[in-house]
Structure 1
Amino acid sequence: MGGVTGGAFKCDFGGCTAPPFQTQYLLNSHANVHSSNRPHYCPVRGCPRSEGGKGFKRKNEMIRHGLVHDSPGYVCPFCPDREHKYPRPDNLQRHVRVHHMDKDKDDQQLRDVLAQRPEGGNRGRRRRT
């Protein structure tokens, strides 16, 4: 194993700058980024990303999305439908910074969202023993 770089499977989509892929499978997976196809759907009935809804281009995106159904969730207080729910506070904070730039920095709800920290306190870091 080790020092293998590049691959034999190059994307031929016009203007694509992706490096060649190691396998046909990886190239096929990559090809979805150039398509409007969204063949992977959330299995949770009623989810806007389930069958008949928006779906996902890649299976791993659908799997990652499943976290919103399995976690307590951090809900955007600014979206009228309360549909935007994130598994971690940093995901919600990114959403708020991108989609709600119009909020006054002194808005108490905005300050509360930006101050949220993950449950558990250590934020994913291991403690030395």
Structure 2
Amino acid sequence: MSTPKRSSTGSRGDGASVTGTFRCEHAGCIAPPFQTQYLLNSHANVHSINRPHFCHVPGCPRGEKGRGFKRKNEMIRHGLVHDSPGYVCPFCPDREHKYPRPDNLQRHVRVHHQDKSKDDPQLREVLAQRPEGGSRGRRRRVGG
């Protein structure tokens, strides 16, 4: 892999100019420049064959003896497969479709139940459930 290059210009999103964005120099990569070296390094994993992050649940095919993950955040998201109560499709007969993450259920409904609205009360009720143990999303800073 070639050495990452630092670009001299960029945009912060508020119209202000930003200097020092980092570009991926991997052949054929079309990723936009990254604002930090850390983000570029994280991105570089997509070009690697290494999968250094593994699920810690015994017997999981994504464990150390199986196929791990290139990125830590992917491994953490995968953990929902084991921790989630399951999001059951309210529109399928016999409730046979169960998904570990709410976005998986939303995609299923979009593809297989095109006549249903994303705001359908039955779907909203299922999506409102939360896994035990609190929030699994981004951490929020407490206090001011």
- TM-score, length-scaled by structure 2: 0.53
- Residue 52 of structure 2 is matched in structure 1 by 39
Q: CA RMSD in A?
A: 3.2
Q: Once the two structures are superposed, what CA deviation does each residue of 1:5-58 show, in whole Å capped at 9, x if it has no partner? A: 474321110111112222221111101111222111111121111111111111
CA 1:95/1:61 → structure 2, altered by over 3 Å: closer, same or farther?
farther
Match of 1:87 among 101, 105, 124: 101
Match of 1:62 among 41, 56, 75: 75
The sequence identity of aligned pairs, in percent, is 66
Match of 1:73 among 77, 86, 99: 86
Contact conserved, 1:7 with 1:20, CA < 8 A, in 2? no
Question: Which 4+ stretches in 1 moved above 6 angstroms?
Answer: 95-98
CA 1:85/1:44 → structure 2, altered by over 3 Å: closer, same or farther?
farther
Equivalent pairs, count = 100
- Residue 127 of structure 2 is matched in structure 1 by 118
* Unpaired segments ≥5 residues, structure 1: 79-83, 106-114, 121-129
Contact conserved, 2:51 with 2:70, CA < 8 A, in 1? yes
Contact conserved, 2:87 with 2:127, CA < 8 A, in 1? no
CA 1:25/1:49 → structure 2, altered by over 3 Å: closer, same or farther?
same
* Unpaired segments ≥5 residues, structure 2: 1-11, 89-95, 114-121, 130-144
User: 1:9 aligns to what SS in structure 2?
Assistant: strand
Q: Which amino acid aligns with 1:15?
A: G
Q: Once the two structures are superposed, what CA deviation does each residue of 1:82-118 show, in whole Å capped at 9, x if it has no partner? A: xx95233x404636988xx9xxx8xxxxxxxxx8632
Contact conserved, 1:6 with 1:20, CA < 8 A, in 2? no
